[in-house]
């Protein structure tokens, strides 16, 4: 007898959900579209076996309750994507530090302080430059190179007093203009960046200022690129991302190389191993290199959908290469379906 499975999907244009829905239609998987922002969302998903939501770290609404909703539904014995182990550290570099250090993963040396005195004392005994980050932000936003101790001390004093806005509108405008010049952003989007200088986004207003801590990482010099490896369902694919001109940041640059011969296989194997240790259903690792040894800068469960379509293939967990186009979002649905089937067999 065929096991009946029904998946509740929260739809957001441009997210994983477009492909989840297409795949369910193609394969005959029963699904319903739900609205996570409705007051009765728990009731909406009550007749479903699973719940899938590609929530966004840049949505002011999602950041208020997405993790709480997902974890609550997991307590009703529903299969959820992303699950707790996949999502709790999403867009939380502080949490990622503790997680990766706890399993001895090769994280770029990272330093967090929760009082000004300790941070200033550390600065006095440290070599510079260092990289300063806020705990939130994707695509290299809220990341800056701190060249010397004096600049680091100014950052620390601001962190424990005025704090930092989640959205640096001036930096974002410069980034938009850079992408406009290379044909990756429209002039209208640049105008939108100018608008944000004078009127902060809802996200920035709701999140408020980041203060009360400082987060620094060692600066790993001479890296002209980083490697991103994404692991889903014992499969991995990877890209090489070049840094911006006259910069040190690769994430969000838009300059991507898809040739698999450019990928150091050591990071693919390492990503499989770490993914198992942290029990993640979907995780993207960003690596830089020091003396040819890979170091993780941060991790994430979410990624831009279309950016990885040109990947020429993927590796399985035995490091066999599978040539050809693939759709990683279908792997997510398959994972959920298999987890539901297992739950039903067990009980």
Predicted confidence at residue 140, as pLDDT, reads: 55
Q: Which of 133, 146, 97 minimizes the C-alpha distance to 295?
A: 97
91 burial type by CB count under 10 A (0-12 exposed, 13-18 middle, 19+ buried): buried
Task: Spell out the residues 6+ positions from residue 347 whose beta carbon is closer than 8 angstroms to its own.
Answer: none
Give the domain CATH number at 151. Answer: 3.30.1490.20
Do 200 and 234 lie in a common domain? no
What would the mean pLDDT of 193-212 be, rounded to a whole number?
67
30: CATH: 3.40.50
Share of the chain above pLDDT 90, in %: 74
Closest Cα partner for 12 from 31, 34, 40? 34
pLDDT tens column, 273-297: 999 999 999 999 999 999 999 999 9
pLDDT in tens, 20-66: 999 999 999 999 999 999 999 999 999 999 999 999 988 889 999 99
| 58 and 120 part of one domain | no
Please tell me the distance from the alpha carbon of residue 325 to that of residue 53, in angstroms, as a whole number.
Answer: 24
Cα(262)–Cα(122) distance, rounded to whole angstroms? 38
Distance CA 347, CA 249 (A): 49
User: Is residue 114 located within the same domain as residue 213?
Assistant: yes
pTM: 0.88
Question: What is the per-residue pLDDT for 5?
Answer: 94
Q: Are residues 153 and 201 located together in one domain of the fold?
A: no
Kindly state whether residues 141 and 70 are assigned to the same domain: no
Residue 93 confidence (pLDDT) above 60: yes
The per-residue pLDDT for 136 is: 86
Mean pLDDT of 311-336: 98
pLDDT, tens digit, for every residue of 333-343? 999 999 999 98
**What total number of domains does the chain contain?**
4
Same domain, 176 and 156: no
Range(s) of the domain holding residue 213: 109-166+208-218
- Token representation of residue 231: 């692991």
């Amino acid at each position: 007898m065929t096991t009946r499975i029904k998946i509740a999907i929260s739809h957001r244009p441009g997210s994983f959900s477009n492909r989840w829905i297409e795949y369910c239609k193609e394969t005959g998987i029963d699904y319903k579209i739900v609205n996570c922002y409705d007051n009765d969302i728990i009731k909406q998903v009550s007749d479903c076996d699973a719940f899938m939501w590609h929530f966004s770290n840049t949505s002011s609404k999602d950041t208020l309750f997405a993790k709480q909703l997902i974890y609550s539904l997991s307590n009703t014995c529903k299969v959820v994507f992303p699950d707790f182990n996949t999502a709790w550290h999403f867009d939380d570099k502080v949490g990622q530090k503790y997680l990766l250090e706890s399993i001895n993963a090769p994280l770029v040396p990272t330093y967090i302080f929760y009082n000004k005195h300790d941070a200033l004392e550390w600065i006095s005994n440290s070599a510079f430059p260092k990289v300063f980050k806020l705990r939130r932000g994707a695509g290299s936003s809220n990341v800056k190179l701190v060249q010397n101790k004096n600049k680091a001390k100014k950052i620390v004093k601001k962190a424990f007093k005025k704090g930092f806005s989640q959205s640096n509108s001036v930096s974002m405008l410069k980034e938009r203009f850079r992408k406009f010049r290379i044909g990756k952003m429209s002039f209208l989007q640049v105008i939108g960046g100018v608008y944000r200088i004078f009127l902060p986004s809802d996200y920035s207003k709701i999140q408020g200022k980041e203060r009360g801590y400082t987060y620094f990482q060692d600066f790993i010099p001479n890296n002209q690129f980083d490697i991103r490896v994404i692991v889903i369902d014992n499969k991995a694919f990877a890209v090489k991302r070049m840094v911006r001109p006259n910069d040190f940041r690769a994430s969000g640059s838009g300059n991507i190389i898809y040739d698999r011969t450019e990928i150091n296989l050591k990071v693919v194997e390492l990503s499989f191993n770490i993914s198992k240790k942290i029990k993640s259903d979907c995780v993207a690792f960003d690596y830089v290199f020091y003396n040819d040894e890979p170091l993780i800068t941060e991790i994430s469960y979410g990624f831009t959908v279309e950016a990885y379509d040109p990947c020429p293939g993927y590796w399985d967990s035995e490091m066999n290469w599978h040539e050809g186009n693939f759709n990683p979002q279908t792997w997510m649905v398959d994972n959920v379906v298999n987890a539901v089937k297992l739950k039903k067999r067990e009980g």
